């Protein structure tokens, strides 16, 4: 298994279940990932690829092995964040939706996790239509037969907690110091950053918390993703897109302490590891597909941490990559 390991992160090119089986019990503080969406997208022809199962049921049989291993390695009382969406059964006027998030929830409950929260990540309808070419999002469908219309289905972030007592609290003694999102904070709140007095008076942190505590995240920067175009093979799905860094960073900030271990079993181009290292956690990522792994290694070479007060020092990786990440 190829790997790149240093004092900040460990990247592995191989099967996630094989790799995670080597991790000690109760040693990971947080997991964040997007699983293959039950066969909706296919990433490779490798039989170990979870997206390559021949049925929805086959996918969950395969995925269950990972959930069991994830439970074993997660520290009691700690969190796992799963990014997903409802799955369309097709792309015609007669298709329907499959409750993929619900099946994920039930599988985690079966294997020792409690379901804690669901965050809805809003998506702009026209952008979704242009990216997916979904017929049920066209204005023409409204004109011809509105019973065949759909909506720009949201993404969801499901949060689970492993049953048991958390013996290491995730603490923010001076409140939240960093906001990952596109909304503009009122200028008068800036003086409260790093507030050392009563935290009931910390309006800077309170404002961030109100954005994060909302059940609907409509302030995610949809294009705030790592470079990925160079990692695409000719036969790749054209609408595959990395998870937004805003989503990842919120999970890292809310559910882990500095220096703790954050794991992603589906690393892709390195987004979850990048967001973890940026905020001074140790990131572990596993990726089966060789081209994605190579891009993740390249992306991780351009990560810097934020300052202790939350100010950005991150390298402008888009400039270094020499190209943009426009949706395809």
**What are the structural domain ranges in the chain?**
2-121+153-321
Q: Which pTM does this prediction carry? A: 0.86
Whether the pLDDT of residue 36 is over 50: the answer is yes
Please check the confidence at residue 202 and state whether its pLDDT lies above 60: yes
Out of 68-72, 96-100, 248-252, 282-286, least confident range: 96-100
Q: What is the C-alpha separation between 2 and 87, in angstroms, rounded?
A: 33
Confidence of residue 147 (pLDDT cuts 50, 70, 90): confident
Banded model confidence at residue 219, pLDDT cuts 50, 70, 90: very high
User: pLDDT-based confidence at 134, cuts 50/70/90?
Assistant: confident
* Average pLDDT value for residue range 99-127: 95
Question: Angle at the Cα of 133 (from 131 to 134), degrees rounded to 5?
Answer: 115
Q: What pLDDT shows up at residue 317?
A: 36
Helix, strand, coil proportions of the chain in percent (round to 5)? Answer: 35, 20, 45
Average pLDDT over residues 271-293: 95
Give the whole-angstrom CA distance, residue 275 versus residue 113. 24
What integer pLDDT is reported at residue 127 of this predicted model?
80
> What percent of the chain is predicted at pLDDT more than 90?
63
With contact defined as beta carbons under 8 Å apart, do 281 and 170 qualify?
Answer: no
CA-based nearest residue to 62, from 265, 271, 307: 265
Minimum mean pLDDT range among 65-79, 115-129, 135-149? 135-149
φ and ψ at 78, to 5 degrees?
-100, 170
Looking at residue 167, what is its pLDDT? Answer: 96
| Longest CA span, the chain | 61
CB of 258 closer than 8 Å to CB of 171? no
CA distance 302 to 300: 5
pLDDT at 128: 77
Question: Average pLDDT of the chain?
Answer: 85
Highest-confidence segment of 95-99, 227-231, 245-249:
245-249
Q: Does domain 2-121+153-321 have CATH number 3.40.50.150?
A: yes
pLDDT band at 129 (very low <50, low <70, confident <90, very high): confident
C-alpha–C-alpha distance, residues 12 and 265, integer Å: 10
Average pLDDT, integer, range 195-223: 95
Helices (H), the chain: 16-20, 56-73, 100-110, 125-132, 139-144, 203-213, 245-255, 271-278, 290-300, 317-321
pLDDT band at 83 (very low <50, low <70, confident <90, very high): very high
């Amino acid at each position: 298994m190829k790997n790149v390991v240093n004092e900040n992160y460990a990247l592995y090119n191989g099967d996630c279940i094989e790799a995670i089986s080597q991790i000690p019990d109760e040693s990971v503080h947080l997991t964040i990932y997007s699983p293959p969406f039950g066969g909706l997208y296919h990433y490779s022809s490798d039989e170990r690829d979870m997206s390559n199962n021949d049925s929805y049921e086959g996918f969950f049989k395969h995925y269950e092995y990972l959930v069991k291993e994830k439970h074993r390695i997660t520290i009691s009382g700690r969190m796992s964040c799963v990014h997903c969406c409802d799955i369309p059964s097709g792309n015609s006027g007669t298709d329907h939706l499959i409750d993929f998030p619900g099946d994920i929830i039930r599988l985690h409950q079966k294997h020792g996790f409690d379901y804690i929260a669901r965050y809805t990540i809003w998506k702009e309808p026209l952008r979704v239509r242009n990216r997916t070419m979904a017929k049920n999002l066209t204005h023409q469908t409204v004109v011809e037969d509105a019973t065949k219309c759909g909506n720009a289905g949201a993404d969801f972030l499901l949060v689970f907690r492993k049953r048991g007592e958390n013996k290491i609290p995730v603490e923010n003694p001076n409140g939240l110091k960093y906001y990952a999102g596109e909304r503009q904070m009122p200028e008068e709140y800036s003086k409260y950053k790093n507030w050392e007095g009563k935290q009931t008076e910390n309006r800077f942190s309170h404002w961030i918390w109100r954005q994060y505590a909302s059940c609907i995240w409509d302030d995610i920067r949809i294009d705030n993703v790592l470079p990925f175009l160079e990692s695409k093979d000719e036969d790749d799905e054209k609408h595959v897109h990395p998870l937004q860094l805003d989503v990842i960073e919120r999970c890292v900030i809310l559910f882990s302490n500095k220096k703790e271990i954050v794991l992603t079993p589906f690393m892709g181009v390195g987004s979850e590891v990048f967001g973890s290292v940026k905020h001074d956690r140790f990131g572990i990522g596993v990726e089966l597909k060789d081209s994605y792994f190579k891009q993740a290694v390249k992306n991780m070479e351009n990560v810097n941490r934020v300052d202790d007060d939350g100010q950005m020092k991150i390298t402008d990786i888009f400039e270094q990559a020499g190209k943009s990440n426009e949706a395809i």
